[in-house]
Amino acid sequence: MKDSINSLAWHTGWAASVQRPSEGFHPNWSLEGFGDHTLRQVVRVTGSGTRARIRLSNRYGSAPLEVTGATLARTDKGAAVQKGTVRRLTFGGAASVRIPAGGEVHSDAAELTAEPAAEPTTEPLTEPFASLTVSLYFARPTGPATFHAQAYATAYRAAGDRLTDPDPAAFGETTQSWYHLAAVELADGGPARREAVVAFGDSITDGFGSTLDADRRYPDALAERLAAAGMPRPVLNQGIGGNLLLSDSAWYGERAGERFRRDVLDRPGVRSVIVLVGLNDIGFSEVDLPTYKPAPDHPTAALIAGYQDLIAQARAAGVRIIGGTLLPFKGAEYHTPAAEAKRREVNAWIRGSGAFDAVADFATAVADPDDPEALAPAYDSGDHKHPNDEGYRQMAAAVDLTTL
């Protein structure tokens, strides 16, 4: 088997949608960026392979990004990596890479058999549900960083070059965002396969309210359910907290219709997509908050047209598209009679129009049986619009696996 990237059939094992730098939902490093720092990020892949590469993004950078070095390793715990599993990554054969403003790069393919060590292991790095650690060293100041705000996973930062350091003690700074890392792609030497499922949407897809570092978002639960059913395949989370179907946001990313091709259709190996977005378009106009701007009062017909655009894009690319019903949100800050009426109309269209290839009735799965406008208390994270871990598990259970 050739080592050339072009000779391998790649599929995406993990992905995150990137956003412009902002203060965001919680403290993060996107505005300050990095300088003489090693950034260590832990991700869980839902695919497998014998080779891997990473995709780095400088999409929202105002200047070229210099990555001095990068490594990939199996995660031990937290910022610690397992001995004998660290791989130095290269970019066109070089240890460093310069990514133009607005650009992206792939690393070269890295072998994933373990190297000899004091405690040798032959365990492959990328069986499904393996946690991998990507470390990036930035010798020079980067400026503001393209990132994914709401990771619900801890990222770690250390001073100096700590790319191969297995000891987590140096990584004393933490945040809950991912930076510059857009995907981990895998290959096993076999033919190209279209089997990945993309979960596409807003904070409910992103995992708001799920347990930190526990991988309990609904796409995680769906991947585990597929594996348990003997149908293992990658499930990629392309949610962005606060994302809108019809409007761009400085805080919450480009509108869903604009980023759909980049985050779904252009990813290698995608077979189907589950769309769950639109509640923020309904709710943001009901309250006056700076981060909820722009907040046009869209009629239901405009939302339906937005869904139809996503459906047309998916069909043209040969990707199956499943529509997710909008979750109940009574008690949330933007729940009003007008907003509830729109949610009901949208859900009636998703369920009854036949426009999607299939429907995942998330709303029914997590609704309070005594008050269908509200989340069931057992599934409510506490803000009355985002599920907790068990609620996300119920959402995953609502997906008919045969539709994927």
Task: Look up the CATH number of the domain holding residue 206.
Answer: 3.40.50.1110
End position of a domain, from candidates 144, 159, 185: 185
Beta-sheet strands, E only, within 195-245:
196-201, 235-239
What is d(CA 269, CA 54) in angstroms, rounded to the nearest whole number? Answer: 15
Q: Which of 22, 33, 45 is nearest to 183 (CA)?
A: 45
3-state secondary structure of 275: strand
Six token digits for residue 36? 């003489």
Helix (H) or strand (E) holding 224: helix 218-228
Q: What is the CB neighbour count within 10 angstroms for residue 135? A: 26
Q: What is the CB neighbour count within 10 angstroms for residue 211? A: 14
Q: In this structure, are 366 and 333 located in the same domain?
A: yes
How distant, in Å, are the alpha carbons of 176, 211, 352 from that of 151?
A: 6, 11, 34
Q: Are 45 and 129 in contact (CB under 8 A)?
A: yes
Q: In this structure, are 173 and 207 located in the same domain?
A: no
Q: In this structure, are 217 and 347 located in the same domain?
A: yes
Looking at residue 121, its pLDDT comes to 43
How distant, in Å, are the alpha carbons of 83, 93, 115, 268 from that of 118?
A: 8, 28, 10, 37
**Global pTM value:** 0.94
What is d(CA 132, CA 125) in angstroms, rounded to the nearest whole number? Answer: 7
Looking at residue 116, its pLDDT comes to 35
Tokens 């980049």 locate to 262
Q: In this structure, are 113 and 47 located in the same domain?
A: yes
Q: Are 258 and 245 in contact (CB under 8 A)?
A: no
Q: In this structure, are 266 and 283 located in the same domain?
A: yes
Q: Are 154 and 176 in contact (CB under 8 A)?
A: yes
Q: In this structure, are 250 and 335 located in the same domain?
A: yes
Q: In this structure, are 230 and 165 located in the same domain?
A: no
Six token digits for residue 17? 């949608």
Q: What is the mean pLDDT of each successive set of 10 residues along the chain, which is 404 residues long?
A: 62 96 87 98 92 97 97 95 93 98 97 48 62 97 97 98 94 97 92 92 98 98 97 96 97 97 96 98 96 94 98 98 98 98 98 98 98 98 98 98 96
Q: Are 387 and 204 in contact (CB under 8 A)?
A: yes
End position of a domain, from candidates 141, 165, 185: 185
Q: Phi/psi at 362 (nearest 5 deg)?
A: -60, -40
- Number of domains the chain contains: 2
Looking at residue 112, its pLDDT comes to 67
Per DSSP, helices labelled H in 1-51 are none
Q: Which of 262, 285, 276 is nearest to 360 (CA)?
A: 276
Tokens 């992905």 locate to 15
Q: In this structure, are 306 and 344 located in the same domain?
A: yes
Q: In this structure, are 43 and 121 located in the same domain?
A: yes
Torsion of CA 142, 145, 151, 153, to 10 degrees: 10
Q: In this structure, are 357 and 214 located in the same domain?
A: yes
User: Which domain, by its residues, includes 90?
Assistant: 5-185
Q: Are 225 and 395 in contact (CB under 8 A)?
A: no
Q: In this structure, are 152 and 200 located in the same domain?
A: no
Q: Phi/psi at 305 (nearest 5 deg)?
A: -60, -35
Q: In this structure, are 87 and 23 located in the same domain?
A: yes
Query: Which amino acid makes up residue 282?
Result: I
End position of a domain, from candidates 127, 150, 185: 185
